[in-house]
Amino acid sequence: MSEKQGLYLYCLADSECLKEVSGTGIDDKNELFIKNTNNIAVVLSKVALNDFIGNEAEERLQDINWIGPKALRHQDIIAQIMESSPILPARFGTIFSTDEEMDRLFDCHTQTIKEFLSKIRNHQEWSVKGYLDKKKLLKLQAKTEIEKNQEMLSQMSPGKRYFQEKKIQKLVEKELEKHIKDLIQMIADRLDAVSSDAAELKLLSRQASGEDIDMIFNEAFLVNTSQIDVFHQNIDNLRQEIQVSGAVLKLSGPWPPYSFCPNIEINSG
């Protein structure tokens, strides 16, 4: 008895730009192929449904040794298609059980998909993350402020001095919060000016980001290819301006435009 197969979705592209695809899908067995629908190129491969659906599949999807190579292959295929056409990327594990299921979805969202592909034509998504060691900077600035007021503090009783130092620390903390807020706004304004769109993303903890300082800024920017050099130059300029505060900017990309995708209710499985 043969395995029941589904359709694994990688991305949607402009059929005028993308005429063919080559290579195998995430299972390294089934070939990639294109299904054209309403001038949209749907990039697919067949997969065994029991690899992704069912109790055994649940365990496999928790196994990094099984899922890791497939997730990388998924991203490699999307990167390959991006070289030829604007795309609407699908999340890893987006599978349709039948052609009819897939067709119903795209028939409902054809106009939205076409508008998105038009919007991102000649555009790239770039990620910008900002970091600052808030605790270290707060400690340094509080120490500096206390030293400035040392003469006044030295004339106080130990109890009053303690409360005055706490008051100074609170004021410094408030000023630091304002400084960070102004810093974030400056970065956003400067990069908004040289991008077509921006998406504010969730700030990650140190553990999640893998950094030993705090994330204070996390945005994705949609940049016209004609503005890429200008965008990068603005990043370089900002890095020089904010380093006096101990802040760091990290740029990565270009990425598939996940941050700007419309919600077309594609469900996996």
Fill in the amino acid letter for 251. L
Average model confidence (pLDDT) across the chain? 86
Q: Over the stretch 205-241, which tens digit does the pLDDT of each residue have?
A: 988 888 888 899 999 999 999 999 999 999 999 999 9
Tell me what pLDDT residue 1 has: 44
Tell me what pLDDT residue 268 has: 43
Burial 48-73 (b: 16+ CB within 10 A, else e): bbebbbeeebeeeeeeeeebeebeeb
Q: What number is the average pLDDT over the span 56-64? A: 78
Q: What number is the average pLDDT over the span 2-31? A: 90
- Please tell me the distance from the alpha carbon of residue 141 to that of residue 133, in angstroms, as a whole number: 12
Q: What number is the average pLDDT over the span 81-93? A: 93
- Residue that has been written with the tokens 């270009």 in this structure: 254
Q: Which of 16-20, 23-27, 117-121, 153-157 has the lowest mean pLDDT?
A: 153-157
Using the predicted structure, report yes or no on whether residue 145 has a pLDDT greater than 80.
Answer: no
Q: What number is the average pLDDT over the span 161-181? A: 75
Q: What percent of the chain has pLDDT over 90?
A: 53
Tell me what pLDDT residue 243 has: 86
